[in-house]
Structure 1
Amino acid sequence: MESNIETILQQMMHDHAPIVIGQSDFKESLGYPLPLSYLVILICHKGSALININMQTYTVKIHDVLVLSDDSFALVLKKSRQFEVTYCLIDRSLAADIAFQLPHQLFSFLNDVPRLRLDQDHHVWLSLWLKQCNLINQEAHAYRMLMLKNHLQNFFLKITAHMPTALQRKAQQFSRQEQLCWRFWKLLQHQSKQHRSVSYYAGQLAITPFYLSQICKAVFNDSPKDLIYRQVILEIKVLLSTTNNSIESIASEMNFVDPSYLNRFFKRQTGLSLSQYRKQQGI
């Protein structure tokens, strides 16, 4: 059983793997901050542990789920001899694909509540979900990543559906900076096909591009330019993988001056040409 998460992350980055699933007892991580990928899901299936997450201490036991990000602080303080988790280490690109259609209040909820304690009725569901996740990950065909993305989206939608009402309300009580960031995010979801400049979105929010950059860094830990480009790439991926539209048609829909510019933009962001991505998706 693998236990050195740092080594696994290094191998993940070396292989450019979008997701790594495995098991760990955190034996080598005890007393040290956990190295984390862009998005991390930990599911405890044996024993228990005491883990400090963002300066708050949580008891983690069987069937508990932790959802962390690369800017989280997680320190294993104590653990039982039998403690064991299944981990899903997810890179930025796949995490963005997963989050594409998820409700924004979920992310605020998970920031406030990183440890999810499922009731007994959901223990069987969690075990079956994890078993299916492992089975999908072991398959070797063109649709594996699409199936994993959908499977992980279902996991987060299940969390959303069972968020306590009081916590949903709390998640919606944003500061002014957070409100502006979520308005920016909603604008992106509706207008990224036509607009790709930071100044445009800053104008829509009646703030300066510099202030938009500041609040995006504070709330999302990303620049608005990166967020815009990521959303544009997601929109292009959807059109490439769910339609038979020509590249010329997609370029027009995404407001690119010509197909070659679209292809250069996509390859610069993903490392793949448009035709390579379509082939990778089995289309």
Structure 2
Amino acid sequence: MDRVPQLLDQDESMRLEVSTLAEGLGVPLSFGHAYMVVLVCVAGCARFALNFREVAVQRHDVLVLAQDTLALLRRRSRGFAMVACLMPKALASEVAYVLPNALFSFLHAQPHNVPSPLDVPLLQGWLQQVMDAEHNGGRHRHVMQRNLLQTFFLKFATLLPTKQAVATQVSRHERLAWNFWELVGQRSARQRDVQSYAEALCISPFYLSQLTRECFDQTPKALIDRQVVLQIKALLTYSELPIGGIAERLQFEDASYLCRYFRRHTGQSLTGYRRAGQGGASGKRTAEPAPRPADPR
């Protein structure tokens, strides 16, 4: 439940999971190969930076994150939890087919949305239907999910005339930090040295370190390692690849080195984490509504 949900490259359907996102605190959130992610806060509150703009998220708030949205979880309350809907590209394309173009611009500029009191029951009912489709949809699950997601986004489209997109000004150093994180998502399976990322951005490793410390409060190496560890955890939890296969997939020298790397960064063994993760992966559950606590600022 504390894991950042991950969509693997072979996943063809939406992944639905309840998470506290605790493992993602303080670093840019990465959801694996998800092309689009819908996050609905079901308990507690938190502060996010979305494309370098600070937002306070509370119960019933909705985040719509595209693949290029930079999302950083800065703080979270003890009872914070979100329902995460992770969509692969093929499903996102099916969903988007009927949506107006103006909606994409709006959601890109305003990924954080707060439903009106009248819309909260609709959102709660939608979540119940999505979860029912996930667990009881059977061979109709894909079509049910697609239709429910289209309904969700078309509801946003009805609000477009009354909402103004927020223009986000991003400085050069923020843009460089964002570009670095995009490269980490693309290359961390095969590149784990800071020098190669600095060269790709045409800057020095020292300047890259300054950028990431300012924007993420982390070193470049720490961010790279965090992403690699998330990939290892996702493969341990959601795939049946043997340890040697995971080492090969992520281009480690051998399984022994992968084991030492994982233990150094997590304090756990690979087999121990896989046993615990797969034991809890099938037990998806919904979060009970909780009173709306104070903003954790």
Query: What band does the TM-score fall into relative to the shorter chain?
Result: 0.5 to 0.7
Give the alignment's TM-score, normalised by structure 2: 0.53
Q: What is the correspondence of 1:27-46 to structure 2 with a 5 Å cutoff?
A: 27-36=22-31, 37-46=34-43
Q: State the Cα deviation string for residues 125-184 of structure 1 (Å, max 9, x = none).
A: 10000001000111253221011101100000011112353527x89xxxxxxxxxxxxx
Task: Tell me which of the two structures has the higher relative contact order, counting C-alpha pairs closer than 8 angstroms and 6 or more residues apart.
Answer: 2
- Secondary structure of the residue aligned to 1:159 is helix
- Secondary structure of the residue aligned to 1:148 is helix
**Which structure 1 segments of 5+ residues have no match?**
172-283
Instruction: Give how far 1:70 is off.
Output: 1.3
In structure 1, the partner of 2:3 is 4
Q: Percent identity?
A: 33
- Secondary structure of the residue aligned to 2:95 is helix
Change (3 A) 1:164 1:3: farther
- The amino acid across from 2:157 in the alignment is T
Instruction: Give how far 1:18 is off.
Output: 2.1
In structure 2, the partner of 1:24 is 19
Work out whether residues 38 and 63 of structure 2, in 8 Å CA contact, stay in contact via their aligned partners in 1. yes
Q: State the Cα deviation string for residues 28-51 of structure 1 (Å, max 9, x = none).
A: 110011003210000001110000
- The amino acid across from 2:50 in the alignment is I
- Secondary structure of the residue aligned to 1:41 is strand
1:96 aligns with 2:93: yes
- The amino acid across from 1:34 in the alignment is L
Q: State the Cα deviation string for residues 73-120 of structure 1 (Å, max 9, x = none).
A: 000001100111000000100000000010010000001110010111
Change (3 A) 1:157 1:94: same
Q: What is the correspondence of 1:1-283 to structure 2 with a 5 Å cutoff?
A: 2-5=1-4, 8-9=5-6, 12-13=7-8, 15-36=10-31, 37-167=34-164
- The amino acid across from 1:18 in the alignment is S
Instruction: Give how far 1:69 is off.
Output: 1.0
CA distance, structure 1, for counterparts of residue 163 and residue 85 of structure 2: 28
Change (3 A) 1:42 1:28: same
**Which structure 2 segments of 5+ residues have no match?**
168-297
Instruction: Answer 1 or 2: which has greater helix percent.
Output: 1
In angstroms, what is the RMSD of aligned CA positions?
A: 1.7
